[in-house]
Amino acid sequence: MRYALPFIGKKAVFPPLGLLTVAAMLPKEAEVTLVDLNVEPLRETAVAWADLVFVSAMIVQKESMARVVQLCNALGKPVVAGGPYPTSCHDQIQGVAHFVLNEAEITLPLFLQDYAKGEAKPLYTSTERPDLTRTPPPRFDLVRRKDYAEMALQFSRGCPFDCEFCDIIELFGRRPRTKTPAQFLHEMDLLYEEGWRGPLFLVDDNFIGNRREVRALLAELIPWQLQRHHPFTLFTEASLDLASDEPLLDQMVQAGFNMVFLGIETPDLCALKAAGKQQNLKADMLASIQKIQRKGMEVSGGFIVGFDSDAGDIFERQVRFIQEAAIPTAMVGLLTALPETRLHRRLQAEGRLTGESGGGNNTHDLRLNFLPKMDTRKLIDGYKRILAEIYHPDRYFERCLKLLKTMKPPRTSRRKLHVMELRAFVRSLVVQTFSRYGWSYWCFLVKGFFARPLMVPETVTLAVKGHHFFKITRSLLELERFKAGLQELSGAFEARLHTVAALDVPQRLAELKALRDQALGQVQARYQRLPRDFRAYADEAVGAFRATLEDRLTRFASEVPAQGRFA
């Protein structure tokens, strides 16, 4: 939500809950500071102050983590690394003094004991699944709450399902472990006493993975919220079979849940079956989504293209399903073979892996780390067509309006109008009215206000999110056009080389160098027009283009004299 956050004056969506939880496990006498790179840069003074630097990252953040480790190494500060990326790929990471992997409730105390004795080892790992009643409340005192749009808490870890492409079950297992209701409500009390009001994300891998414990939590969460006049609006991740449990749905709505993220993946039943997504085959997916929406919860969804069974029509089918399901936030991604997953092992056995996983970076850098059954170019082009279609303003606002008409206006989780919301509305009016999609924006606002007058804040929120989706999609497509342009320029230069070689005119070398300089100048001008956030993802392509031109020119220059002797 990078481009939506300025509307509400925030720097990031969530604080880093993992690091805040690890901080709570450190010795009480330890002095601890937190640097969240989503809200501030890492300065040398912060590193120089510390005796140890703890770093956590997901795979998509590996380049950022490498820069942090490099800085710490330069300043002579030992790095302790953990989290999903180090746990999956620690043998590929350089410069880390101590890897504390898997779940910190088990491995961190072992490291701390050894460190206190001056005997810390390079690697701490364990397959043990800890009881979450051992997990302390996160250190929210280490963050500036005003920097964040939402807060986050965790009730459970793990998921009972066995999706081939998912690494959650490899990291946390298939038996969901939970905190006690009293333990979780205590964490909510701490947030409440700290003054937090508003959205709260329950970051569980699958909130309904252990339904018995979830029911017990909701039974106490409902009165907790009621007694405090619903200070938190809740949202979480779950599986689509939530729709089959109406009493549980009703409990969640009473507790204040107004959104749920579902792993929908694809409307293709063959792909779902092959991927082990059995929970999505038990009922009609579209009807299940609409049932959840009618209860008063917005559905956001994850979608994937690139399954082995995907045919040429999968792109149109995905667009059609997303539109019919009225899912504004449709997170569509290219299939990625994450380390340690069943998918990774299968593709490796089939000899189809082609590189490391990028961790699902499907908004800035479109690459596959395996050979798909579909032609790679066709798959990536089809993926781009999906994004261009679903995040065209007219199609996006069409889904939003359909959602507003379908959703039951929430009672317990209705968004309230505060200064932040009013500021967002004013900025939305100024920025979006005068945007390239201003007419679509105003049509949606007017229709939305009349369709659901009690859901004006929700309507404005959907419009602001749309601004982010439009901008990031347009930027991605511009980046892809830029890369395609490099290939065209390279081809044109190659054709000119052949023409000159055929004429056997060595004196044309100066003309070719001028042509090279002209091409590089064009590339630089186009590069500067790229959105700043996306330029780093063009650097590799620009470097390769420059090297290709130099290599071809050098080869041509070395061949010209020989050609002249045979003229």
pLDDT tens by residue, 486-535: 888 877 777 776 766 555 555 567 777 777 787 788 888 888 888 887 87
In this predicted structure, the answer to whether residue 363 has a pLDDT above a threshold of 80 is no
Total residue count of the chain as it appears in this document = 567
Q: What is the pLDDT of residue 326?
A: 95
More confident of the two residues 288 and 2: 288
Q: What is the pLDDT of residue 566?
A: 37
User: Using one digit for the tens of pLDDT, what is the confidence trace for 65-84?
Assistant: 999 999 999 999 999 999 99
**What confidence tier does 454 reach under pLDDT thresholds 50, 70, 90?**
confident
Tell me the C-alpha distance between 77 and 409, whole Å: 53
Instruction: Kindly list the distances between the CA atom of residue 248 and the CA atoms of 18, 85, 231, 252, 563, in Å, as whole numbers in the listed order.
Output: 28, 34, 21, 6, 81
Tell me the C-alpha distance between 459 and 453, whole Å: 9
Tell me the C-alpha distance between 301 and 337, whole Å: 20
Mean pLDDT of 93-102: 96
Number of Cβ within a 10 Å radius of residue 190: 16
Q: What is the pLDDT of residue 517?
A: 80
Q: Pull the structure tokens for residue 516.
A: 């090279």
Q: What is the pLDDT of residue 489?
A: 80
Q: Pull the structure tokens for residue 260.
A: 């749920």
Mean pLDDT of 223-244: 94
